[in-house]
Copies of this chain bind each other. A is one copy, B any other.
């Protein structure tokens, strides 16, 4: 308990537990791995002793010996709200399966190659990429790999994502049902995800015979200020104002709302707005945004399971798992008045 992190001297090892419990190391190993071959009695005893000693297996030794690291490398870029929720989910999912996660950050001066090199030192046996969205991951084909959130065209990479197409379609459809026709889209940067959502928007508009009404305002999607700039640009444009907006994500939707609010434009009275992600931002205080719901924890679980299945050599049916999002209707959408 107290010595959990051994301030003094050596750390608790499997041998310590074995000695204390009066059994062989091998038996302790069996119990710790939850492998078959130990009696209920020894299990309890050993677990109790381990607990008491504050024993935690050494993943280094474990992975060395087992020829399986049981480790998933995770590549991530700038971690916003949504990504943090994903990471959170990955941790829990991995933990439940008895796997470890080792994170590696991608930054401006640290590219995929470097990040992978340092991961490689840990001998991960599978990889999950959260971002940034690249079309051709370096390790595709070399290692079980799942990308989360965007589509990759490679026979050897698995994909777990929310259907941008379906999500945007739901949003547009709902707006159309409310009588909107002039529906604009705030595009968030030039990433693959942003492109996918923009295309989905164009597609959805076409499906409703509203191609003429397509109106796209691009912003960098780096931060909320970009969103505001875009919203302002939209207002300044002397063209007729849209009556509804489908935004790339919640952040940008919120940013746009704040601009509209300042201009005395009522939401949803004058303009309806729909976000994407249904992040904590969407239903925070003072904001109650209609949004397309992604389920990060669910996605994380799928990704981890998939990756583990791959390392086990299991056959998996479909390479791409696409979750169908739902539209969470809140108070930023209403009937068209224009």
Return A14 CB to nearest CB of chain B, in Å: 13
**Complex contacts, A298 vs chain B, CB 8 Å:** none
A338 part of interface (Cβ distance < 8 Å)? no
Chain B residue nearest to A224 (CB atoms) is B224
Q: How many Å lie between the Cα of A121 and that of B114 in the bound state?
A: 24
Q: Are B225 and A258 in contact (CB under 8 A)?
A: yes
Interface centre among A60, A69, A229 (most CB of B within 10 A): A60
Chain B residue nearest to A232 (CB atoms) is B262
Q: Are B286 and A57 in contact (CB under 8 A)?
A: no
**Complex contacts, A172 vs chain B, CB 8 Å:** none
Q: Are A5 and B110 in contact (CB under 8 A)?
A: no
Copies of this protein, total: 2
Q: Are A84 and B60 in contact (CB under 8 A)?
A: no
A269 part of interface (Cβ distance < 8 Å)? no
Q: How many Å lie between the Cα of A224 and that of B63 in the bound state?
A: 44
Q: Are A87 and B58 in contact (CB under 8 A)?
A: no
Stretch at the interface among A135-143, A182-190, A307-315, A319-327: A135-143
Q: Are B88 and A108 in contact (CB under 8 A)?
A: yes
A177 part of interface (Cβ distance < 8 Å)? no
**Complex contacts, A121 vs chain B, CB 8 Å:** 56-59, 100
Chain B residue nearest to A104 (CB atoms) is B103
Classify chain A's interface size.
Answer: 35 or more
A254 part of interface (Cβ distance < 8 Å)? yes
Q: Are B102 and A102 in contact (CB under 8 A)?
A: yes
**Complex contacts, A27 vs chain B, CB 8 Å:** none
Chain B residue nearest to A227 (CB atoms) is B224
Q: Are B103 and A91 in contact (CB under 8 A)?
A: no
A209 part of interface (Cβ distance < 8 Å)? no
Q: How many Å lie between the Cα of A102 and that of B104 in the bound state?
A: 8
**Complex contacts, A118 vs chain B, CB 8 Å:** 91, 95, 100-101
Are A87 and B105 CB-contacts (below 8 A) given A79-B78, A142-B7, A225-B254?
Answer: yes
Q: How many Å lie between the Cα of A81 and that of B61 in the bound state?
A: 36
A residues with CB within 8 A of B: 4-5, 7, 11, 56-61, 63-64, 69, 78-79, 81, 84-85, 87-88, 91-92, 95, 100-105, 107-110, 114, 116-118, 120-123, 139, 141-143, 223-225, 228-229, 251, 254-255, 258-259, 262, 281, 286-287
What are 25 of the A-B contact pairs (CB < 8 Å)? A5-B116, A11-B123, A56-B120, A58-B64, A59-B60, A59-B121, A59-B122, A60-B60, A60-B61, A60-B64, A60-B69, A78-B81, A88-B107, A88-B108, A91-B105, A92-B109, A92-B110, A100-B121, A101-B118, A102-B102, A103-B104, A223-B224, A223-B251, A224-B224, A228-B258
18 further A-B pairs in the complex, CB-CB below 8 A; given A56-B117, A225-B287:
A5-B120, A5-B143, A7-B142, A58-B64, A58-B123, A59-B60, A59-B122, A84-B105, A88-B108, A88-B109, A91-B107, A91-B110, A100-B122, A102-B102, A223-B224, A223-B281, A224-B255, A259-B262
